[in-house]
Amino acid sequence: MYNSWVGYLSHDERRTELLHAAVCVLERDGLAAVTSRAVASEAGVSPGLVHHRFATTSELAAEAWLAYVERERTAYELETPAPGRPAVDAFFAPFGEGDLAGLARWADAWRHAQSDGRFAGAFAESYRALERSLAERIPGRGDRRAAASRLLLIAFGVAGAQRIDPGLIPDPGAVMAAAVDRELAGG
């Protein structure tokens, strides 16, 4: 459970607290579990308080997703400031490490974006931020943004396949490594 102090907080402080709780729910239970009731339980407050700060569950899920991706992207950028193969490999390390929970989050978000317009905007924003971060770390002079986009789309496809059936692609790390090899050889 997300630890919170239930006493008086300003509007912005309470909203931030609820957003942190929503990210905890997203990471632990998945995007579909980000509901006002689950977030309220995580934060130790009433669902009404969540509704007071977030107009809809869609808004809550979208903002939780953006906060989650921003945290992950910032950590990646801090850990890999220089472009090069090690930075690109670090970006796709979850595939080689078998991080099925992380891959499932992306597959679920991709699917959710297709049916929820508010979330689609947040997903597109997170995609563009990831694309920029990755493109800045791809070595070479070619169209690094296009290379980053191709790699992300392959990653989302692999993540979706892993979500459907973990045995569908026996070695997702090898698939991503091969895709990175192709992109970096072409740059």
Q: Domain ranges in the chain?
A: 82-186
Residue 158: φ, ψ to 5°: -65, -45
User: Which pLDDT does position 104 carry in this prediction?
Assistant: 81
User: Which pLDDT does position 26 carry in this prediction?
Assistant: 97
What's the rounded Cα separation, in Å, for the pair 139 and 76? 16
Q: What is the mean pLDDT of residues 13-27?
A: 95
Beta carbons of 43 and 69 less than 8 angstroms apart: no
Output the pTM of the full model. 0.87
What's the rounded Cα separation, in Å, for the pair 103 and 156? 8
Name 96's Cβ contacts closer than 8 Å, sequence gap at least 6: 172, 173, 176, 177
What's the rounded Cα separation, in Å, for the pair 54 and 73? 24
Please tell me which residue, 20 or 6, carries the higher pLDDT value.
Answer: 20
pLDDT band at 48 (very low <50, low <70, confident <90, very high): very high
Question: Around Cβ 52, how many Cβ atoms within 10 Å?
Answer: 15
Q: Which of 41-45, 63-67, 164-168 has the lowest mean pLDDT?
A: 164-168
What confidence tens digit (pLDDT) does each residue in 82-133 have? 999 999 999 999 888 878 778 789 889 999 999 999 899 999 999 999 999 9
What confidence tens digit (pLDDT) does each residue in 132-186 have? 999 999 998 889 999 999 999 999 898 889 888 989 998 999 999 999 999 999 7
What's the rounded Cα separation, in Å, for the pair 123 and 117? 10
